[in-house]
């Protein structure tokens, strides 16, 4: 099976398993989405969802979060990984959006990437989820599964993103990146599957016997 055929097959199977995938981070507008994605770095979505209700109750807008300040933000998000750094980023990020953008989250990937604590993946998630702009952000799950499924060489997340954008139709990017994440968390995990155990790995490579060593980002 050629690479494009594998990609088409994966997209079909994931569509059957997760027909209407939704972003797993709780939010109610563009700003709270951005905040939740920033907080999710090196942290589970479940843990973020436990913390954000208290944060959004007192700081659900850029203006309110800017007024709350770094120390009080830290008090709320302390259970999360990298909390000090994230509190600093959120305080500054909120101030910039409130002052420079009139309280409106910017809708260009360049402007988003210029915000404190917002890298390419975070900006891409916001672009596709908040503004409907085609993007295919690559996280650890997508990077790992793309290698196991023979869709990329896996040298870097940047290379993986480029490869997947060539293989999957632009119209599918919104759903497919969420579908891969869900499948990677539930079935093809880093420890529970080695490229030979989960359903899709076995269906895609029925003769594969040796574990797949994937290149971590």
Largest CA distance in the chain: 59
Give the whole-angstrom CA distance, residue 99 versus residue 58: 19
Of the listed 86, 121, 163, 194, which one is catalytic? 121
Q: Reply yes or no on whether 46 is catalytic.
A: no
- Other beta carbons within 10 Å of 110: 8
Q: Which of 53, 56, 46 is nearest to 24 (CA)?
A: 46
Rg (CA), the chain: 18
Q: Which of 113, 176, 169 is nearest to 149 (CA)?
A: 176
- Other beta carbons within 10 Å of 127: 18
CB 200 within 8 A of CB 188: yes
Distances (CA, A) of 43 to 46, 49, 81, 93: 8, 11, 6, 19
Residue 132 buriedness (CB in 10 A; 0-12 / 13-18 / 19+) = exposed
Of the listed 86, 139, 163, 194, which one is catalytic? 139
Residues known to be catalytic? 121, 139
């Amino acid at each position: 099976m050629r690479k494009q055929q594998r990609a088409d097959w994966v997209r079909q199977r994931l569509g059957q398993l997760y027909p209407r995938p939704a972003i797993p981070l709780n939010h109610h507008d563009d700003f709270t989405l951005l905040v939740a994605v920033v907080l999710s770095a090196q942290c589970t979505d479940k843990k973020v969802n436990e913390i954000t209700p208290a944060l959004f109750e007192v700081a659900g807008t850029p203006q309110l979060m800017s007024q709350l300040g770094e120390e009080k933000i830290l008090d709320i998000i302390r259970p999360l990984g990298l909390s000090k750094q994230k509190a600093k980023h959120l305080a500054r990020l909120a101030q910039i959006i409130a002052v420079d953008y009139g309280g409106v989250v910017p809708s260009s990937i360049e402007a988003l990437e210029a915000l404190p604590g917002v890298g390419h993946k975070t900006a891409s998630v916001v672009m596709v989820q908040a503004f409907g702009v085609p993007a295919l952000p690559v996280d650890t799950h997508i990077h790992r599964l793309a290698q196991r499924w023979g869709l990329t060489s896996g040298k870097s997340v940047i290379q993986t993103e480029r490869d997947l954008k060539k293989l999957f139709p632009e119209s599918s990017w919104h759903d497919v990146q969420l579908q891969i994440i869900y499948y990677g968390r539930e079935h093809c995990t880093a420890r529970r599957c080695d490229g030979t155990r989960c359903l899709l790995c076995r269906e895609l490579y029925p003769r594969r016997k040796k574990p797949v060593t994937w290149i971590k980002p």
